[in-house]
């Protein structure tokens, strides 16, 4: 009887430990998936910004950037932004943030509209 009680206790402990391990693995996968999703969302925002810039530049030039671009970059929490055409600076935006460590910032550099425009965007990680 005593042996059965000990074996039952060990089996129950093993089941509980296995259940806890499965729950931990599930939680770890959920956190990793959520983190990857936020980085993907940030990359989509940058791609949308690229499309808006290329479209607006083709239609209006750089004249109207100062009206809609600063609030958008502030909403995106951009730290630094520059737009240049053939090495000539067209538009620049810089926002000081005390909490960001330079090494944790993400740099996006792309060529827009057949290589005429070059965009450089520096953003903090999504969880800052």
The percent of residues above 70 in pLDDT, for the chain, comes to: 92
Q: pTM for this one?
A: 0.73
Let me know how long the chain is.
Answer: 128
CA distance linking residue 13 with residue 21, whole number of Å: 12
Question: What confidence score (pLDDT) does residue 33 get?
Answer: 95
Q: Sign (positive/negative) of CA torsion 127, 121, 111, 65?
A: positive
Give the Cα separation of 84 and 96 in Å (integer): 21
- Segment 12-22 shows an average pLDDT of 95
Contacts of 30 (CB under 8 A, 6+ apart): none
pLDDT at 2: 84
Higher pLDDT, 100 or 75: 75
111: left (phi over 0), alpha (psi -120 to 50) or beta: beta
Confidence of residue 128 (pLDDT cuts 50, 70, 90): low
25-39, 72-86, 87-101, range with greatest mean pLDDT:
25-39
Q: Is residue 98's pLDDT more than 80?
A: no
Between the two ends of the chain, the Cα-to-Cα distance in Å is 58
Express each pLDDT in 49-78 by its tens digit.
998 888 888 887 777 788 888 999 988 889
Query: What b/e readout covers 12-44, taking b as 16+ CB neighbours within 10 angstroms?
Result: eeeeeeeeeeeeeeeeeeeeeeeeeeeeeebee
C-alpha 28/C-alpha 10 separation (Å) is 27
């Amino acid at each position: 009887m005593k042996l059965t009680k000990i074996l039952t206790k060990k089996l129950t402990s093993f089941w509980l430990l296995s259940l806890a391990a499965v729950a931990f693995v599930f939680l770890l996968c959920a956190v990793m998936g959520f983190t990857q999703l936020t980085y993907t969302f940030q990359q989509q925002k940058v791609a949308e910004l690229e499309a808006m810039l290329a479209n607006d530049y083709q239609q209006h030039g750089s004249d109207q950037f100062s009206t809609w671009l600063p609030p958008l970059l502030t909403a995106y929490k951009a730290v630094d932004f520059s737009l240049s055409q053939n090495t000539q600076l067209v538009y620049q935006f810089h926002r000081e943030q005390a909490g960001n460590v330079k090494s944790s910032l993400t740099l996006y550099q792309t060529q827009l509209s057949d290589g005429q425009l070059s965009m450089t965007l520096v953003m903090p990680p999504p969880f800052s």
